[in-house]
Amino acid sequence: MADNGKRKIVINPVTRIEGHGKVTIHMDAANNVEQARFHIIEFRGFERFIQGRFYWEAPVAVQRLCGICPVSHHLCGAKATDVIVGVDKLPPTAEKMRRLMHYGQTYQSHAMHFYHLASPDLLFGFDAPVAKRNVIGVIQEFPEAATKAVLMRRFGQEIIKATAGKKVHGTGAIPGGINKNLSVEERDSLKKDADKMLEWAVEALELAKKVTKAGGQSLLEFGSFPSNHLSIVRPDGCMDLYDGVLRAKTSDGKIILDQVKPADYLDYIREEVRPWSYMKFPFITSIGQENGWYRVGPLSRINCCDFIDTPVAEKERQEFMALGGGKPINSTMAYHWARMIELVHSAEKIVELLDDPDLQGTNLVAVGKKRPRGVAWIEAPRGTLFHHYEINPETDQIRVANLIVSTTNNNEAMNRCVQVVANQHLKGKAEITEGLLNHIEVGIRAYDPCLSCATHALGRMRLQVQLVGPDGSIIEEKLRG
């Protein structure tokens, strides 16, 4: 500890979260939290990666930005290039193939996150030994659930392979449509497991609900704070993970904006740059930088929509919203419950789509008149994803690109979460224990952030924990991995 009694706790990188994040917590002499920040230390250079490419390359190229949710980038890129090729309505086969791909991605991502990353904390407690608090611990204590988690993730990946053509750098979605339909063989192969996958999704939801309720008020208040919520919804207010208009609500449910179309997003959303983070801080323009930040992702999507058009998920949405008497839920840990409602919704949609003969249609691509600008969005598993391209019509090359990715949209919220969790759990404590550090991780993990773009080469991943004094000296250091 330095002479002035102040110290800084550094958690770097945050574990069980994609990529390399760093948390710094500045504490005063009495071990009260003075300030907490969640840093993004890797510069991703998204826009520069896309600029100069031909627009038709974008749907494939943008997948390389992220190995965690490549399908979301693939589909959002394709949707932006739909606009560029002048197509506002896809043939039914193309739209449904893309939706199937998207629900497959959401299904596998949500199942994986809940069982593999979140459930160890929920089932064993935040203070359980780290050696137990992981998926192997889940396998040993709950072998059946863990095996189902693996097979659920695999099922989602099989859908992606069948619709995108392959798992790595899929090529299914192209400007104006799709390049393949779903063969009868592919459909039948997926159909044989689809009902079971829905059943297992409901089991996962029941487990999420049970552990959240068992945690009581203290769990719901963990890392929680009021915030605005933003997501896309269908124009009639129905949840829609693939397409729709933008809606935002205040923490108590008042509509801030609604029916916003992709092309107009810059009139409603701005991004702030702060010197200590490479990641931007988006905010709703009409409210301003100070209070215009918002949350995205499963919790916000459930909060923003009026209803869900699949029966089981809608029933569960109603039960979930009853927690807040119909007003938005602002609990960080409620993300897990909301995520599982979406897991069920995705499974219901998959079952529905696999019965739709349009997937075997042969009209795959629409054409239109080329436009110089294309903006699109999609609800990626982690939240709203924006792709905006402007092209040089003479050369067809992208000259301007702007991406707001899901984790960026949750940037301020994650900082707030760290601050709240630090205040709740580190206050007055002088010792950095595994359990204490994990409370910070648990809070951030609820947002399922993705920071790494999937560069994971052997030797790169590790956990470094430092306690640093204001003079820069390391007071305490811990390494994992």
Q: Which positions touch another protein (CB under 8 A)?
A: 15-18, 44-45, 48-49, 61, 63-65, 67-68, 70, 108, 112-113, 116-117, 130-131, 134-136, 139-140, 143, 146-147, 149-151, 153-154, 157, 167-169, 450, 453-461, 463, 480-481
161 or 371: CB nearest another protein: 161
Residue 263, C-beta contacts closer than 8 angstroms, at least 6 positions apart: 83, 373, 375
- Rounded to a whole number of angstroms, the minimum distance from the CB of residue 459 to another protein is 4
170 or 176: CB nearest another protein: 170
Take residue 124 and report the two structure tokens written for it: 């064993």
- Rounded to a whole number of angstroms, the minimum distance from the CB of residue 166 to another protein is 9
Q: Which of 205, 247, 254 is nearest to 226 (CA)?
A: 254
168 or 322: CB nearest another protein: 168
49 or 307: CB nearest another protein: 49
Q: Token pair 């019509």 is at which residue? A: 393
Q: Give the number of residues written for the chain.
A: 481
Q: What is the largest CA-CA distance in the chain?
A: 74
- Rounded to a whole number of angstroms, the minimum distance from the CB of residue 441 to another protein is 9
β partners of residue 184? none
- Rounded to a whole number of angstroms, the minimum distance from the CB of residue 280 to another protein is 17
22 three-state secondary structure: strand
Residue 466, C-beta contacts closer than 8 angstroms, at least 6 positions apart: 9, 10, 12, 474, 476, 477, 478
- Rounded to a whole number of angstroms, the minimum distance from the CB of residue 194 to another protein is 17
Q: Which of 446, 450, 380 is nearest to 408 (CA)?
A: 450
197 or 308: CB nearest another protein: 197
- Rounded to a whole number of angstroms, the minimum distance from the CB of residue 450 to another protein is 8
Question: What distance lies between CA 450 and its chain's CA centroid?
Answer: 7
Take residue 382 and report the two structure tokens written for it: 């982690």
Q: Which of 298, 308, 284 is nearest to 331 (CA)?
A: 298
103 or 320: CB nearest another protein: 103
State the sign of the Cα–Cα–Cα–Cα dihedral 265, 447, 218, 6.
negative
State the sign of the Cα–Cα–Cα–Cα dihedral 455, 459, 465, 468.
negative
140 or 363: CB nearest another protein: 140
238 or 461: CB nearest another protein: 461
- Rounded to a whole number of angstroms, the minimum distance from the CB of residue 446 to another protein is 15
Strand duo 255-260 + 269-272: pairing: unpaired
CB neighbours (10 Å) of residue 12?
16
Find out whether 369 and 29 touch, Cβ atoms under 8 Å: no
- Rounded to a whole number of angstroms, the minimum distance from the CB of residue 65 to another protein is 7
